[in-house]
C-alpha cells in the first residue's frame, strides 16, 4: 500500500500546475480575444448614400438592401416613429430573415421552406410555394425572377429560381450540402455559400455553374460584393476575398479567435470605407482592410456576435457601425477606430442583424422577442414593438415592414 502522504504531495503539485496552466490560459485567452486597435490603418472616405430616384426607391431586392450589405436605407425624414399598423400576416413558422420587395410584391421565406408572395398594400397572399423542408435565408428578387436557397430539399441543399408573378419554378439546382446563404445577384450571376464550404457563382437564367470556390469551413452568410470582389467569412474562422469574375482568391485572413481554436463567422460582412466589418462567435467585432485583409481593429463584446453590422455616416458621430451581441447589448462603434460611441442594454440576447431606416436603427432581441428602434446618433429609444426575433425591418420608402417571430407587420408613420 502506498503511503497516505504521497497522493497528498502529488495533489498539491498537480494543483500548482493546474493553477499555472489556468493563469497562462487566462492571459493567452485575454490577449487573443481582447481588443486590438491599429490607429494608423488605412481608412477611405466615401459619400453618404442617397435615396434612389424613381421606381428603384420601391425595391428592396436582396438581403441587406445593397450588394455591399451596409443595411442602410436613406429614407426621407417622414419615415420615422411613431407608427400605426396597416396589416399583419401570421405565417405560422419561425421567420429568421426579412423579406425582399419589388413593386407591390413582398417575398417572405419562412423556416419551413415556404416562400410567400404578399401584397404589400393589404397583406393578402398572391401565391405560395414550398421549396423543401427547412430554410434560413432571405430571398432575392431581380426583374421577373425570385431566387431562394434551401437547407434541406429533395437531396440536400437547393437553389431555386421562381417566376415573380405566379411562383412557378423556372429552374432549380440540387446541392451536395445545405445552404442558408442569402443569394446575391449581380450581372446575370447568383452568388451563395454552402455548409460544405463551397461558394457558388451560377448563371441567373438557368442555374448552370460558372465557378466554385472552396473555403476551409461552412459559408453560411451571404457573400458581399464591392468593386468586383466578393467578401465572406467561414466557420473555420477565416475571412476571404475572391474575384467575382472567376472565383480566384485575392486574400484570406484569420480571426485569431478563441483559446481552443478560431471563432466562427456567421455574420454577413459590410464593406465600406475600404474595410470589411463583421462579427464572430469569439465575441469580437472585426474590421479588416478590404484591399489586403490586414486587421484594422477588433473589439470584444464578451459573448457571441452572430449579427451583421449596419453602417451609416451618423450626424454628430461620423462613420459608425451598429450591431448587437448575445450579451444583450447593442453597440454603435466608430468605423475608423473601433471605439464604442454608445450602447443600449436590451436585456436579452441579440442574434439577428440591425437595419438603418433614415436616422433610426432597428434591431430585434431574441431573448425577449421584441423589436427596438434607436436614434443612430444618440442611442435613445424611439420605437418598441411587441414581436421580434432576428432581422426585423425593411422599407419601400413609404412604410416599414417588420418581421416578428412568426408574423409580418406593415407599419405606417402616424
Residue 350 DSSP class: -
Written as nine digits, the cell of 338 is 473601433
Residue-wise burial string across 291-313, b where 16 or more C-beta atoms lie within 10 A, e elsewhere? eebebbbbbbbebbbbbbbbbbb
pLDDT at 55: 43
- How many angstroms separate the CA atoms of 141 and 316, rounded? 35
Q: What is the pLDDT of residues 40-85, one digit of tens each?
A: 788 787 777 665 555 445 789 999 999 999 999 998 889 999 999 9
Count of CA atoms in the C-beta half-sphere (13 A) of 161? 21
Most confident of 153-162, 261-270, 286-295: 286-295
- How many angstroms separate the CA atoms of 300 and 236, rounded? 19
C-alpha distances (whole Å) from 77 to each of 58, 358, 359 are: 16, 7, 8
pLDDT at 9: 43
Q: What does the mean pLDDT of the chain come to?
A: 89
pLDDT at 191: 98
**CB atoms closer than 10 angstroms to residue 407:** 16
- Is the distance from CB of 167 to CB of 127 less than 8 angstroms? yes
pLDDT at 362: 97
pLDDT at 43: 76
Residue 298 CA, distance from chain mean position: 18
- Binned at pLDDT 50, 70 and 90, residue 156 comes out as confident
Written as nine digits, the cell of 307 is 449579427
C-alpha distances (whole Å) from 264 to each of 62, 151, 158, 250, 312 are: 24, 19, 23, 21, 25
pLDDT at 141: 97
Asked which of 52-66, 129-143, 265-279 is least confident by mean pLDDT, the reply is 52-66
Residues in the chain: 414
Percent of the chain scored above 70 by pLDDT?
Answer: 87
- Is the distance from CB of 341 to CB of 318 less than 8 angstroms? no
Written as nine digits, the cell of 264 is 466562427
137 pLDDT more than 70: yes
pLDDT at 414: 86
- Binned at pLDDT 50, 70 and 90, residue 8 comes out as very low
pLDDT at 53: 57
Q: What is the pLDDT of residues 387-412, one digit of tens each?
A: 988 989 999 999 999 999 999 999 99
Residue-wise burial string across 384-398, b where 16 or more C-beta atoms lie within 10 A, e elsewhere? ebebbbbbbbbbbbe
- How many angstroms separate the CA atoms of 312 and 105, rounded? 27
- How many angstroms separate the CA atoms of 27 and 23, rounded? 6
5 pLDDT more than 70: no
- Binned at pLDDT 50, 70 and 90, residue 98 comes out as very high
pTM: 0.89
- How many angstroms separate the CA atoms of 373 and 341, rounded? 17
Burial class of residue 49, CB neighbours in 10 A (0-12, 13-18, 19+): middle
Written as nine digits, the cell of 155 is 437531396
pLDDT at 49: 67
Written as nine digits, the cell of 157 is 441543399
Task: Please name which of 356, 265, 280 lies closest in space to residue 325, comparing C-alpha atoms.
Answer: 280
Sheet with 381-385: list strands edge to edge.
72-73, 355-357, 360-365, 370-375, 381-385
Q: What is the largest CA-CA distance in the chain?
A: 91
Hey, what domains does the chain have and what are their CATH numbers?
60-413 (2.130.10.10)
Return the percent helix, strand and coil in the chain, to nearest 5. Answer: 10, 45, 50
pLDDT at 39: 73
Residue 114 three-state SS: strand
pLDDT at 29: 45
- How many angstroms separate the CA atoms of 338 and 244, rounded? 29
- Is the distance from CB of 354 to CB of 384 less than 8 angstroms? no
Q: What is the pLDDT of residues 198-211, one digit of tens each?
A: 999 999 999 999 99
Rounded average pLDDT over 168-192: 96
Rounded average pLDDT over 208-236: 96
263 pLDDT more than 70: yes
269 pLDDT more than 70: yes
Q: What is the pLDDT of residues 317-326, one digit of tens each?
A: 999 999 999 9
126 pLDDT more than 50: yes
- Is the distance from CB of 236 to CB of 262 less than 8 angstroms? yes
Rounded average pLDDT over 263-289: 95
Amino acid at each position: 500500500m502506498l503511503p497516505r502522504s504521497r497522493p497528498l504531495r502529488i495533489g498539491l503539485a498537480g494543483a500548482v500546475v493546474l493553477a499555472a496552466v489556468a493563469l497562462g490560459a487566462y492571459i493567452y485567452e485575454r490577449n487573443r480575444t481582447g481588443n486590438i486597435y491599429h490607429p494608423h490603418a488605412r481608412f477611405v472616405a466615401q459619400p453618404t448614400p442617397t435615396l434612389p430616384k424613381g421606381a428603384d426607391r420601391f425595391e428592396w431586392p436582396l438581403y441587406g438592401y445593397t450588394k455591399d450589405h451596409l443595411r442602410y436605407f436613406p429614407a426621407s425624414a417622414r419615415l420615422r416613429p411613431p407608427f400605426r399598423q396597416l396589416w399583419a400576416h401570421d405565417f405560422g413558422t419561425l421567420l429568421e430573415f426579412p423579406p425582399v420587395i419589388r413593386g407591390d410584391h413582398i417575398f417572405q421565406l419562412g423556416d419551413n421552406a415556404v416562400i410567400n408572395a404578399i401584397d404589400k398594400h393589404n397583406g393578402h397572399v398572391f401565391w405560395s410555394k414550398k421549396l423543401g423542408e427547412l430554410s434560413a435565408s432571405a430571398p432575392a428578387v431581380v426583374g421577373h425572377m425570385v431566387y431562394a436557397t434551401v437547407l434541406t430539399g429533395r437531396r440536400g441543399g437547393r437553389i431555386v429560381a421562381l417566376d415573380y408573378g405566379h411562383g412557378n419554378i423556372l429552374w432549380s439546382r440540387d446541392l451536395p450540402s445545405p445552404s442558408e446563404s442569402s443569394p446575391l445577384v449581380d450581372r446575370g450571376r447568383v452568388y451563395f455559400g454552402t455548409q460544405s464550404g463551397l461558394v457558388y457563382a451560377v448563371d441567373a437564367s438557368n442555374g448552370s455553374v460558372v465557378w466554385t470556390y472552396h473555403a476551409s469551413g461552412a459559408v453560411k452568410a451571404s457573400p458581399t460584393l464591392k468593386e468586383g470582389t466578393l467578401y465572406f467569412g467561414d466557420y473555420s474562422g477565416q475571412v476571404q476575398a475572391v474575384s467575382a469574375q472567376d472565383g480566384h482568391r485575392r486574400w484570406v485572413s484569420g480571426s485569431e479567435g478563441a483559446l481552443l481554436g478560431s471563432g466562427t463567422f456567421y455574420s454577413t460582412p459590410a464593406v465600406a470605407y475600404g474595410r470589411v466589418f463583421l462579427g464572430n462567435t469569439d465575441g469580437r467585432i472585426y474590421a479588416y482592410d478590404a484591399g489586403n485583409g490586414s486587421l484594422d481593429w477588433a473589439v470584444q463584446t464578451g459573448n457571441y456576435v452572430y449579427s451583421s453590422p449596419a453602417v451609416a455616416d451618423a450626424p454628430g458621430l461620423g462613420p459608425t457601425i451598429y450591431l448587437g451581441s448575445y450579451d444583450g447589448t447593442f453597440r454603435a462603434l466608430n468605423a475608423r477606430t473601433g471605439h464604442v460611441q454608445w450602447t443600449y442594454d436590451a436585456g436579452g440576447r441579440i442574434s439577428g442583424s440591425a437595419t438603418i431606416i433614415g436616422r433610426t436603427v432597428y434591431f430585434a432581441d431574441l431573448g425577449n422577442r421584441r423589436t427596438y428602434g434607436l436614434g443612430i446618433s444618440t442611442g435613445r429609444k424611439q420605437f418598441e414593438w411587441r414581436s421580434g426575433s432576428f432581422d426585423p425591418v425593411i422599407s419601400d420608402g413609404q412604410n416599414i415592414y417588420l418581421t416578428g417571430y412568426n408574423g409580418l407587420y406593415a407599419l405606417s408613420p402616424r
